[in-house]
Structure 1
Amino acid sequence: MTAPAPRKIIHIDMDAFYASVEQRDDPALRGKPVAVGSASSRGVVAAASYEARAFGVRSALPSVTALRRCPTLLFVRPRFDVYRAVSRQIHAIFADYTPLIQPLSLDEAYLDVTDNLRGLPTAWATAKEIRARILAETGLTASAGISYNKFLAKLASDHRKPDGQFAVTPDMGEAWVATLPVARFHGVGPVTARKMERLGIATGADLRAQTVDWLRAHFGGSAEWYHAIARGRDDRPVNPDRERKSSGSETTFNRDLLVAAEIEAGVLGMADDVWAWCAKAGAYGRTVTVKIKYADFHIITRSRTGTAPVTDHDRLRDTALALIRSVLPTEQGIRLVGVTVSNFAAAEDVSLPLFDPPA
């Protein structure tokens, strides 16, 4: 039997989406450092233009920190109704090429164009045409990653940003991954990346050198995923019916922990990972869950569900901290902690207290 032909996957990622929409609609903002959000003392940057990113301003950064890094930063109030409308335009373009579209957020999606509706011979040509249509119809630029699986396509879309595209072919996938820092890998958050670096894993090549058993001992249930992506493998299909039910992050400690402060620090790190995804995706849930795995592998969870979505970074951290403190002090070592947000609200039902109310 012959092996199946490689899939043709495109990851489309809009360039600084919210900020670019604001610069498109207000010529006075073009070429200037712009942050979507609020300059208030408890404000958080929801998105930053490339001019602002040059100063180290990024999404989920506290506004006071952003202003210290870039005193000339211009804050613009978010217009989520406009962003959603533009996102619908973009997804209508996608639908002209394939029914296999998996949105990740308002500004990015996977497309399986193995059998595209336009009959274009290559994924490269398909991505190029899609990006040209997005620019013509919305006035915005997009970047694209093209590969034979989702993991590599998402990595590739960052490689020629902004307004570019990059392809990772089957014969270069594993070797290309080997050259990249693990901090760039989708599914490796900042806390996990720091843990990997402490263990001597800085690049894809370092990760590939580890056995599944060694990875399982240090990273638990994520071991098989890390082992696969270090080799450029990802069998996940593009799922057009996928609805995100939750966002979570977990870490396995280098040793079983008993000290409350160390355990709490791990939980806060996971909360920060989750918040980064929620802020980017514009998805906020009412339920926060903390997962604890003890040294004997016994697992418990503690959850709290509010009447409104958690739309504030500090509130997520405080809730996660309260939940882990409900099981502290502990006489048995803790080997793993995780934080998950679920029970997402519909986008139109979300109000964001991190932004100032209208004047």
Structure 2
Amino acid sequence: MAGNDRRRGAVRKSGTKKGMVVGSGGQGRKALQGKGPTPKAENRVGHQAKRRADAKAQADKQRQKQRRSAENAPELVAGRNPVAECVRAEVPANGMYVAQGIDTDDRVTEAVRNAADQGISVVEVPRGELDRMTGGALHQGVALQVPSYKYAEPEDLLTKARNSGMPPLLVALDGVTDPRNLGAVVRSAAAFGAHGVLLPQRRSAGMTAVAWRTSAGAAARIPVAKASNLTRSLRDFKSEGLMVVGLDADSDVSSDELELATDPLVVVVGSEGRGLSQLVRKTCDQAVSIPMQSGVESLNASVAAGVVLSEVARRRRVR
């Protein structure tokens, strides 16, 4: 039989499968090489699940890129009253745009004059161009370009407080989403001697032009920082010797009894609706409420912050 090595002169032809060859379960150097466990569907090249996973990852990356671009993009404040108020409050601005041929009034005249005094360039543009720049908003022929706010780091607030020579006093906001409330809190913080304001990275209002305007320029005098994790930042402050007090309408301790006011302190203000989040509430050393007449709804975040900060400042003056 051809290929039988016991027959004289017999030669096995190449390519035949007689005997042990690679792929047949042979032994030694001709043995099968295992490929390991079967990968998950989302890791298999060409599999539908992998295509879906790759598409989702690409979409998430694009959204993150757009969010970063939006955070760093300048903001346009449109309208005669808002622009006049921003310039009056000395909100940092890159330029003012005025539509060609508009009827000027006292607000426009004041805004242009103040802008010139502050070194803000005033540029006349066609009305159609201003429509495009403001996305069709009701601009009344004038808009102000405000750069993105430069946030401090949480540790910068503590450094500033330590360098002041006074017991540190910081304000943290937990879930305050109205920029007007944020601006009002910043204004109260500056008025009552706080050294900085801390915001969470997510689910929080940012220092937009609206917040700048509401702060009446106080945002230029007091740093505002963002924390990637508010609870962790509060714990870091506690490890540095600060006490953390949260405002809670259900607390039995009144702000009139705030004995911690003269200590290094962080005052935490919750959102208007749900108050403090559960994790933040557990992190606080003490919760205090504001005494009010029965039947009155709770105060909004900025008013509550102002009341407590005023009490803290009073106790520090008379200690």
Instruction: Identify, as 1 or 2, the structure richer in strand.
Output: 1
Bigger Rg over Cα: 2
Shorter-chain TM-score category? Answer: under 0.3
TM-score if structure 1 supplies the norm length? 0.22
